[in-house]
Amino acid sequence: MSLTATEPTLAQPVPIKRLLSLDTLRGFDMFWIMGGDEIFYALAKTTTWGWAAFMADQFTHPEWNGFRFYDLIFPLFLFMAGVSTPFSVGSRLEKGDEKGPLARKIITRGITLVIFGIIYNNGLFVKPIEEIRFCSVLGRIGLAGMFAQLIYLYASERAQYVWFFGILLGYWAALMLIPVPGCGAGVLTLECSLPGYVDRLLVPGKLYLTVHDPEGLLSTIPAICNALLGIYAGTILRNAMRRPEEKIQALVGLGVIFFILGWLWNMVFPVNKNLWTSSFVLVTGGCSLGLLALFYWIIDVKRYQKWTILFTVIGMNSILIYLAVLIINFEHIADFFFGGLIHQLSSEPLKAVLTVAGMILMKWLFLYILYQKKIFLRV
């Protein structure tokens, strides 16, 4: 891992000059993680506005089955990691790089993200193993992205399709047919699901939900398909033989098909983020394809690009800002600069929104300084 101003490498989502839309979409995704969602929470708490309550609800996760906008943020990030792969790994293969060294780099960076995820969950201080949460968001990004890139590296295009549908169907079969002791087969509840049982059996330390971890071992397997779908989308966008309009049509068409198939599958295999069900993969994959097509059309085809700086500075250092909150108290910094002014305001909604906006601004300025100096986190 290093901070560098040189060309980024390949394991995590990286800045790709040919696709400004990808960096912008990644920044849009990370904007909600770095505090954008709190604007709606603040408005919902301080007003009676119905739309604010609706939006705040969309930035929460369903208790178990179901889907809200907030459920898209994580799989969209995985999807974008896949989109960058044909540009990074594919270009290196075309230059004659051997697969072995590339595979070692992919594996090393995947493991590095797993380690970063453990640190993010537990801090820098050593704890007893039973108090450590080993599963993490970064760990899932690292493992799912790693396996998807290895499949891209060694499997033919046709074989990649087999991997994609084989994983989704195999995961469905496993959850419906393999019995869990004391519960039986096909019971998709918090206490009785197969992923939760595997977590309790194999994962050391503590689980996020005590009997289940939403970033657990078994449920990481279908997440590979979000990255594989991103790889397919990146292959479409990298194809110089296709016109931009054809690329957009392909992305939108496939997105609509997957979105519909996901909700049809939901009737027998519920859309569930905690279990990362196959139907969840298709629904989020369809949404991801649609968003990528929209950003690509606006930014890379229509060339409306002046506004993209708001998100690209976030997208080009997405992992860094995710980790930075461990050592930088942006809320304290924002309060230092804006607290006195904000506290003098009489409007509670305005105070709440400006408090959140100040924190986001501090994070953005931190990333903008790094962006200006061309410093990006390489993992």
295-298 CB contacts, 8 Å cutoff, 24+ apart: 295/21, 295/22, 295/24, 295/25, 295/28, 296/19, 296/21, 296/237, 296/244, 296/247, 296/248, 296/251, 297/244, 297/248, 298/21
* Secondary structure (DSSP) of 164-220: HHHHHHHHHHHHHHSPBTTTBSS--STTT-HHHHHHHHH--B--TTSS--TT-STTH
Q: What is the pLDDT of residue 79?
A: 97
Q: What is the pLDDT of residue 347?
A: 79
Give the three-state DSSP class for 111.
helix
Q: What is the pLDDT of residue 44?
A: 87
Cβ 299 vs Cβ 352: under 8 Å: no
Residue that the structure tokens 């969602």 belong to: 37
Q: What is the pLDDT of residue 8?
A: 34
What secondary structure letter does DSSP report for 268? Answer: T
Q: What is the pLDDT of residue 2?
A: 44
DSSP H helices in the chain: 20-31, 37-46, 50-58, 70-83, 85-94, 99-122, 137-154, 157-177, 194-202, 220-238, 244-265, 278-295, 309-315, 318-324, 330-343, 348-372
Cβ 78 vs Cβ 226: under 8 Å: yes
Reported pTM: 0.91
Q: Pull the structure tokens for residue 224.
A: 């590979």
Alpha carbon of residue 335 to chain centroid:
29
Alpha carbon of residue 154 to chain centroid:
24
Q: What is the pLDDT of residue 191?
A: 94
Please report, as a single letter, which amino acid is at residue 349: P
**pLDDT beneath 70, residues of the chain:** 1-18
Cβ 286 vs Cβ 257: under 8 Å: yes
Q: What does the longest C-alpha to C-alpha distance in the chain come to?
A: 64
- Neighbouring CB atoms inside 10 A of 16's CB total 22
Q: Which residues are paired to 378 by β-bridges?
A: 2
Q: What is the pLDDT of residue 18?
A: 60
Q: Pull the structure tokens for residue 293.
A: 């097509």
CB-count burial class (<10 Å; 0-12, 13-18, 19+) for 107:
middle
The torsion angles phi and psi of 2, rounded to 5 degrees, stand at -155, 160
The torsion angles phi and psi of 22, rounded to 5 degrees, stand at -70, -45
